[in-house]
Amino acid sequence: MNRNFLKFAWILVLVFVLASCSTDDSGDTIDPTDDSVGVPQPEPTNPEPIDLSAYDNGTGVMMQAFYWDVEPRFGWWDNLSEKVPGWAAAGINRMWLPVATKGQSGGYSMGYDVSDYYDFGDYDQHGTVETRFGSRTELENLISTAHENDIEVIADIVINHNSGGGLEYNPYRDKDTYTLFNETHGNASGWFNRNYENFYPNSVSQYDPGSLFYEETNLDHHLDYVQDWLWKKDNSVAKYYMNEMGFDGWRFDYVLGFEPWVVKEWLNEVGGFSVVELWDGRASVLRDYVDETGSGAFDFATFYKLEEGLDRYEDLNTLKGEMLWQTHPENAVTFTANHDTEKDSNEDNFIKSSNKLKAYAYILTHPGYPTIFYSDFENPDFQDELKSLIAIHNSIAIGDTEILYVDNDEYVMKRAGTGTNPGLILYISTNNSTKRRTVGSNWNNVTLMDYSGNSTYNPTSDENGSVTIEAPANGYSIWSITE
């Protein structure tokens, strides 16, 4: 046979083989059309998964137990009481409640227009006795039910701005302001009455540290009277919430409106779990605040890296950026959505529904304390996957973190495990085809499976721990050992 013809035939075969492979730089990724394509590896029949409950790593997950303008009005506390046992069974160990006291908007208030810090649905003011969420009795029942199910209850605390007081002449502003809070003007409880001297400016303080809301009724925390009523006195807001109502910790609203020492002193006085809303995507700013106060902080740096990588830029290389969990895992409270982001019309402030589960897969496998948004967990299209991710988080999401590979449409991360806990490997792909990639694991000669249930592929690692894992099209997988 003509040698030139044979040479040409071999060239055609080589071109065909190369054309079937991915064009990724490393050459290790394959876009398979079936399981016969890729690196040959034995696939045993029906490998047995490990029992994740045997690997309880002592962590948990927080539920944000509300969304903006929750319904039904006056029935929210009872609604949550019914949810608590199921949340506990799923692995939730804390629940963050909306502001629980009476706001100026009465039965329509989400509590952020705080008026009476001690009216949990006891007093007829602002057009209603109950808060939007229900009565005090119903709230106390909810807290009791949560504790019976080993769930801590976190209070949302607004100590920056007030709303709903009476009108009075304010000599420091030379006009009438709504700064009178007493038994007949927005503070029926009679506890922590306020007037213009308690807000900026006053005879002691001439400046406002940066409030963007209710400027004329921004509390001055430098005043002994304000400090006493907020956290120092035996019947202060902090001590009443903890000792009388049974709250276990705090979510501090809009901390840009007051100095960090306020949070530090509050925690030194009463303790409890704490997370602050410092809406800043720079990890350095979050780190400084955590170091100064000792509080946890919502990891907005991680939130925006996920939003950029999955939505805005569609480039997973953003996940190599700085995030709070990398340096302060014990203080980083990670999240993919909250009541503000979900009602925000700015598309750069929320993660699209189609990318939500990939974002949850990220925060529930990485270090940090994850938060689940109520509307996502109660979404029937999401709930089963979120339960699976919570189970993975509470068991094998442990150990040192290492990014094994990242490019514009792939992200592979390893948790090394500890002791007998095997850890895991997360594989996120935004590619429209199934992807496979060979990576190094800590597992030698072990058959793996995807504990998210998104892939039925069962690769086996070699004697050096090298293994080829798979991610479904525009999805994720989470790999660990089998029995």
Amino acid at 68: W
User: Residue 403 corresponds to which tokens in the numbers above?
Assistant: 């990014």
Rounded average pLDDT over 343-357: 93
Q: Do 212 and 79 share a structural domain? A: yes
Q: Do 67 and 45 share a structural domain? A: no
Q: Which residue has the tokens 């509050």?
A: 266
CATH code, domain with 329: 3.20.20.80
Q: Whole-angstrom Cα distance, residue 167 to residue 173?
A: 13
Rounded average pLDDT over 148-155: 98
Q: Do 218 and 111 share a structural domain? A: yes
What was the pLDDT predicted at 20? 33
- The verdict on residue 6 lying in a domain is no
What was the pLDDT predicted at 17? 36
Among candidate residues 398, 426, 445, the one where a domain is terminated: 398
Rounded average pLDDT over 204-228: 89
Q: Is 454 annotated as a binding residue?
A: no
Helices 383-393 and 76-90, packing angle to 10 deg: 50
Give, as one character, the DSSP assignment of residue 218.
B
CATH code, domain with 454: 2.60.40.1180
Q: Do 323 and 469 share a structural domain? A: no
User: Residue 377 corresponds to which tokens in the numbers above?
Assistant: 């967990």
* pLDDT (tens digit per residue) in 101-132: 999 999 999 999 999 999 999 999 999 999 99
What was the pLDDT predicted at 344? 87
What was the pLDDT predicted at 35? 40
Closest CA to 271 of 329, 231, 228, 218: 231
Active site residue 71: no
Q: Do 46 and 63 share a structural domain? A: no
In sequence order, the 6+-apart residues with CB closer than 8 A to the CB of 354 are none
- The verdict on residue 210 lying in a domain is yes
pLDDT higher than 50, residue 378 = yes
Strand 424-429 vs strand 410-415: parallel, antiparallel, or unpaired? Answer: antiparallel
What was the pLDDT predicted at 34? 40
Q: Do 296 and 257 share a structural domain? A: yes
Q: Do 446 and 369 share a structural domain? A: no
Q: Is 220 annotated as a binding residue?
A: yes
Quote the pTM value: 0.92
- The verdict on residue 281 lying in a domain is yes
Contact 344, 359 (CB under 8 A): no
SS3 8: helix
Q: Do 450 and 410 share a structural domain? A: yes
pLDDT higher than 90, residue 9 = no
Q: Whole-angstrom Cα distance, residue 276 to residue 342?
A: 19
Q: Do 108 and 40 share a structural domain? A: no
Q: Do 173 and 107 share a structural domain? A: yes
Q: Is 35 annotated as a binding residue?
A: no
- The verdict on residue 12 lying in a domain is no
Active site residue 253: yes
Among candidate residues 398, 433, 449, the one where a domain is terminated: 398
What was the pLDDT predicted at 42? 52
What was the pLDDT predicted at 36? 34
User: Residue 442 corresponds to which tokens in the numbers above?
Assistant: 């800590």
The pLDDT confidence band at residue 156, using thresholds 50, 70 and 90, is very high
Domain count along the chain: 2
Provide the residue range defining the domain that includes 27: 23-52+402-481
- The verdict on residue 421 lying in a domain is yes
Contacts of 228-236 spanning 24+ positions with Cβ under 8 A: 229/191, 229/192, 230/159, 230/192, 230/266, 231/265, 231/266, 231/269, 231/270, 232/269, 235/191
Number of other residues whose CB lies within 10 A of the CB of residue 56: 11
Q: Do 344 and 244 share a structural domain? A: yes
Rounded average pLDDT over 143-156: 98
Strands (E), 127-244: 152-157, 166-170, 175-180
Strand 410-415 vs strand 466-471: parallel, antiparallel, or unpaired? Answer: unpaired
What was the pLDDT predicted at 2? 43
331, 337, 341, 347 alpha-carbon torsion, rounded to 10°: 120
Strand 475-481 vs strand 424-429: parallel, antiparallel, or unpaired? Answer: antiparallel
**Across the chain, what does the average pLDDT equal?**
92
Q: Do 358 and 275 share a structural domain? A: yes
| Active-site choice (277, 280, 311, 342) | 277
Contact 101, 122 (CB under 8 A): no
* pLDDT (tens digit per residue) in 26-72: 534 555 444 434 444 555 558 999 999 999 999 999 999 999 999 99
Give, as one character, the DSSP assignment of residue 419.
T
pLDDT higher than 70, residue 19 = no
* pLDDT (tens digit per residue) in 265-309: 999 999 999 999 999 999 999 999 999 999 999 999 999 999 999
* pLDDT (tens digit per residue) in 228-244: 999 999 999 999 999 99
| Active-site choice (216, 253, 307, 410) | 253
Give, as one character, the DSSP assignment of residue 50.
P
SS3 70: coil
Give, as one character, the DSSP assignment of residue 256.
G
Q: Whole-angstrom Cα distance, residue 52 to residue 91?
A: 12
The pLDDT confidence band at residue 209, using thresholds 50, 70 and 90, is confident
Exposed, middle or buried, 377 (CB in 10 Å: 0-12/13-18/19+)? buried
Task: Compute the chain's Rg from CA coordinates.
Answer: 27
Strand 475-481 vs strand 448-450: parallel, antiparallel, or unpaired? Answer: antiparallel
In Å, what is the CA distance from 115 to each residue of 73, 86, 99, 139? 19, 34, 11, 18
What was the pLDDT predicted at 43? 53
- The verdict on residue 155 lying in a domain is yes
What was the pLDDT predicted at 135? 98
What was the pLDDT predicted at 56? 95
* pLDDT (tens digit per residue) in 452-475: 999 999 999 999 999 999 999 999
In sequence order, the 6+-apart residues with CB closer than 8 A to the CB of 78 are 134, 138, 141, 142
Among candidate residues 398, 433, 466, the one where a domain is terminated: 398
- The verdict on residue 15 lying in a domain is no
- The verdict on residue 178 lying in a domain is yes
The pLDDT confidence band at residue 346, using thresholds 50, 70 and 90, is confident
Exposed, middle or buried, 280 (CB in 10 Å: 0-12/13-18/19+)? middle
Instruction: Please state whether 194 falls in left (phi above 0), alpha (psi between -120 and 50) or beta.
Output: beta
Exposed, middle or buried, 53 (CB in 10 Å: 0-12/13-18/19+)? exposed
